[in-house]
Amino acid sequence: MTDWKNPPRLFIPGPVKVNDDVLQQLARPTLGHRLGEYTQLHSETVTMLKKILFTEQNIFLFTSSASGIWEAAIRNCVGPDETVLCTMCGAFSDKWAGVARSCGRDVEELKVEWGQATLPEMIDEKLASGKYAAVTIVHNETSTGLTNPVAEISEMLREKYPDVLVLVDSVSGMVGLPSRFDDYGWDVAFASVQKAFAIPPGLAVAAVSDRALEKSKAVPGRGYYFDFQAFAKSAAKNQTVTTPAIPHIMALNYQCERLLSEGMENVWDRHRKMGEFVRAWAKERFALFCDEKYASNTLTAVKNTRGINVGETINAIQEKHNTVFGNGYGKLKEETFRIAHMGDITLDELKELLGWIDEEIG
């Protein structure tokens, strides 16, 4: 029997488990969003996010989930008569291409098989035609547990296609995986906070380059809720356009302080260690779904080579230990299962969970 007031501990790849001290931040007294206390909270949070994302450019806080920024990035950075190259390697990158199309943009697809990475040379071959205003890339494909080689892709783009805007969904990558926004030359990179920031869902964060902001000025039909120009105007006053999810921003502020005191290199290293541990377990008993070279350090998609009943295993562990991990996403349900190792999940907790899975599968 499910009981939402006594929910399982979450090892699904988002939302992930949130620590009690983080939850408590959401219960602080509320602030008036046009008053000094909020501008102080906003300013502090943005200053820390700039350090965390390695950028001196713009940070915007979105009271929406990350899907809103899929739309925002397209509506602000790709003109109605321009073409965007959408790289696709799994369910979420596929969805973004659909969102771009739903915004009325001309979309060209660059598809690889699920579980494979998108490589710089593939993008290079497409961009050589010169017809693209922007390219979309999913940093970490949550459906397949794959991290695209974004450092290499970014280097190629910077050298050969400096005029093409680089739009990056880093939803399950941000904070857990190395990335340096300004060095990479990215134009928009975003995540929702229920992944490696380890905060309940309800807020998303984006870094936006100055040139993306400049470009958006001339793009018609940006709409209201996701207009970068309006965001920039409010951000200059350390505010948001509409009433933001203030409790979430308090929790984000708290998590940013923790991340910076740990140091980003250490945070990435902690994720790498968790990734290595879960991959070693998965390879001994099953196999990895994706090409191991690109296996993610924030979640593992395990290929169900033993034909276990994934749904039943998840239910059994929930019943006995009030803990859940993730079934495969979409068409990969039962064929794979997914274990998150991001945010405030610890190696000890992972050991415990994997031990319980071992007990179930025998």
Ligand X SMILES: Cc1ncc(COP(=O)(O)O)c(C=O)c1O
Interface with ligand X (CB under 6 A), residue from 19, 39, 57, 67:
67
HSE (side-chain half, CA atoms, 13 Å) at 26: 13
Interface with ligand X (CB under 6 A), residue from 18, 48, 52, 66:
66
Q: How far is the CB of 296 from ligand X (least distance, A)?
A: 10
Q: Does position 328 bind ligand X by CB under 6 A? A: no
Q: Does position 192 bind ligand X by CB under 6 A? A: yes
Q: How far is 328 from 336, CA to CA, in rounded Å?
A: 5
* Strand spans (E) along the chain: 9-11, 58-62, 83-88, 106-111, 132-138, 140-141, 146-147, 165-169, 188-192, 204-208, 287-288, 299-303, 323-327, 336-340
Whether residue 30 contacts residue 247, with contact meaning beta carbons closer than 8 Å, is answered with yes
Cβ distance to ligand X smaller for residue 14 or 328:
14
Cβ distance to ligand X smaller for residue 255 or 308:
255
Give the ranges where 103-144 is alpha helix by DSSP (H). Answer: 120-127
Give whole-number Cα distances, 343 to 48, 174, 248, in Å: 17, 10, 16
Q: Does position 138 bind ligand X by CB under 6 A? A: yes
Q: How far is the CB of 209 from ligand X (least distance, A)?
A: 20
Q: Is 222 helix (H, G, I), strand (E, B) or coil?
A: coil
Q: How far is 92 from 96, CA to CA, in rounded Å?
A: 6
Site for ligand X in 151-190 (CB under 6 A): 169, 171-172
Q: Does position 336 bind ligand X by CB under 6 A? A: no
Q: Does position 65 bind ligand X by CB under 6 A? A: yes
Instruction: Please work out the total of residues on this chain that contact ligand X, with binding judged by CB under 6 A.
Output: 11
Q: Does position 148 bind ligand X by CB under 6 A? A: no
Q: How far is the CB of 362 from ligand X (least distance, A)?
A: 31
Interface with ligand X (CB under 6 A): 14, 65-67, 92, 138, 142, 169, 171-172, 192
